[in-house]
Amino acid sequence: MNLSELNKVATAMVAPGRGILAADESTGTIKKRLDAIGVESTADNRRDYREMLFRSTEGMSKHISGVILYDETIRQNAKDGTPLVKLIEKAGSLPGIKVDKGTKPLPFCPHEVITEGLDGLRERLSEYRGIGAKFAKWRAVIDIGAKHVLPSYTCVKANAHALARYAALCQDEAIVPIVEPEVLMDGDHDIDRCVEVTTWVLKETFQELFYNRVVLEGMVLKPNMAVPGKKSPKRAAVQEVAEKTVRMLKACVPAAVPGIAFLSGGQSDEEATAHLDAINKLGDLPWRVTFSYGRALQAAPQKTWSGKTENVAAAQRAFNHRAMMNGLATLGQWKADLERKAA
């Protein structure tokens, strides 16, 4: 393991003013996104959509440090024959790859899941590294559940252990792991219950990372923010989300971790940006704090594009705008009135 190189990549992933584009939707998930805008989910259409994003020069070169890809996408070529990986590199971004194989029901734990994909992972990582991947991602899913009855210790422990084994394999194959333990914002829980569960999940995760000898300087954490559940009657102000998120992370995340790249977790575009900005405005953080957004970066350009060639330029402007807004938020320089300006 070359720790210096791992740290160099991890630090670049969380560079000030830049963040990560999560374009790693599975074939099933991207089909839902394309269905919503009336576009057939063919390999060519999926390619065209991603190519449009990766060719969004201003947004990519100035505000996107890395792109998480799916197995299909990392192997695809653009219309002119250029590998999509090369388009990402040309824009000054790092190619990454989602390596988990999704979730399955966790035995004897009703309504809970475990992320699979450890079998054969070393060989897949080696192949992806040969294609050009510099980092990888593995997502664990933790559900608080209705009436606050979840999660179980079994679920938290099993997913933390899988995340740690994945991270160790990545580092052994010279790939930076994004460690993503997501506490879902579904349900009726309030912000304090989110903090309670996320604190537990993060502490278990870092314990397992220690046991599996993962070097913290060579990884990036991708957690959820402290937010109430979607069905909670008790909403939280932006400042409360920022303060409780930072307090929670300072209690759980060692300063050796180069950076934290938040997932949006179902927040609206502007909400995810506002929360990120408020967190960075607090200052005095031991790690760099940025974004690793999927829908919060892509919803606007997807709708604008709608599969039509004549809409590509407008869709790229929409993507550039969202990338710029979030880039400003990583610096604590975002303002709400900027959202009202045309992309």
Residues noted as catalytic: 180, 222
First to last CA, the chain: 43
What phi and psi values does residue 105 have, to the nearest 5 degrees?
A: -60, 140
Separate counts of helices (H) and strands (E) for the chain: 13, 10
* Beta carbons of 305 and 315 less than 8 angstroms apart: yes
* Gyration radius from the chain CA atoms: 19
How far apart CA 25 and CA 294 sit, in angstroms, is: 8
How far apart CA 268 and CA 86 sit, in angstroms, is: 31
Query: Tokens 């999926």 — which residue?
Result: 46
Longest CA pairwise span in the chain (Å): 53
Q: What angle do CA 18, 304, 41 make, to 5 degrees?
A: 95
The length of the chain in residues reads: 343
DSSP for 158-215 reads HHHHHHHHHHHHHHHTT-EEEEEEEE---SS--HHHHHHHHHHHHHHHHHHHHHTT--
Nearest Cα residue to 322 out of 17, 14, 63? 63
Task: Tell me the sheet residues that pair with 98.
Answer: 137
